[in-house]
């Protein structure tokens, strides 16, 4: 937790705001396009939709299915 707080104070991390309606709309769109073929779970889709709306430069996940969706959508996935 201390490292997290240090990253906030140094500017390496920063709070971001995004419109919940926009997230749900993007998640619904992604779900329609990818859930049937990929079997993605709702929270995975919400996380990826949020990353896309925030224009994330890297998407961190250890969940193989979530990583697959993010990669399909051309997000840079790590670690």
Mind listing the pLDDT tens digit for each residue in 10-23? 999 888 999 999 99
Position 12 in a domain = no
The long-range contacts involving 69-75, CB below 8 angstroms and separated by at least 24 positions, are 69/30, 69/34, 69/38, 69/40, 69/44, 69/45, 72/34, 72/38, 73/30, 73/48, 75/48, 75/51
Quote the domain boundaries for residue 60: 19-78
Position 59 in a domain = yes
Position 14 in a domain = no
What's the total number of domains in the chain?
Answer: 1
Position 73 in a domain = yes
Position 1 in a domain = no
Name the pTM for this structure: 0.82
Number of neighbours of residue 69 by Cβ within 10 angstroms = 26
Mind listing the pLDDT tens digit for each residue in 24-79? 999 999 999 998 888 889 999 999 999 999 999 899 999 999 999 999 999 999 98
């Amino acid at each position: 937790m201390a490292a997290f707080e240090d990253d906030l104070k140094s500017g390496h991390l920063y709070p971001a705001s995004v419109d919940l309606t926009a997230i749900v709309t993007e998640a619904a769109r992604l779900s329609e396009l990818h859930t049937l073929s990929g079997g993605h779970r709702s929270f995975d889709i919400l996380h990826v939709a949020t990353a896309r709306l925030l224009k994330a430069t890297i998407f961190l996940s250890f969940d193989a299915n979530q990583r697959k969706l993010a990669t399909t959508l051309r997000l840079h996935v790590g670690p």
